[in-house]
Amino acid sequence: MPQSRLFAQTPPDCVGPVFVSVAKDLRERAEEVLAQAETYHDAGARKMMHRIAWDYEKLARRLEMESDGAAKA
């Protein structure tokens, strides 16, 4: 998998904290998406927004797992 520019320029001993920070940002974004979804009257649109929030959460969990692996390396 190709590295993003952000992580390619990040020293290896800093990758874990960067992942944790990005995970936190993703969780905040998920909360914003859920709040936005509650304002929609269309059930289909709300369902799509919930799915987007779930995907943000899933990505945050994956980054946290990667940060654990980076800390052990």
pLDDT score, position 61? 92
Q: For 9-22, what is each residue's pLDDT tens digit?
A: 555 555 577 888 88
Q: For 22-67, what is each residue's pLDDT tens digit?
A: 899 999 999 999 999 999 999 999 999 999 999 999 999 998 888 7
User: What are the sequence ranges of the domains in the chain?
Assistant: 13-67
Work out the number of other CB atoms within 10 angstroms of the CB of residue 70: 20
pLDDT score, position 55? 96
Q: Do you know the residue count of the chain?
A: 73
pLDDT score, position 26? 95
CA 55, CA 34: separation in Å to the nearest integer? 12
More confident of the two residues 30 and 5: 30
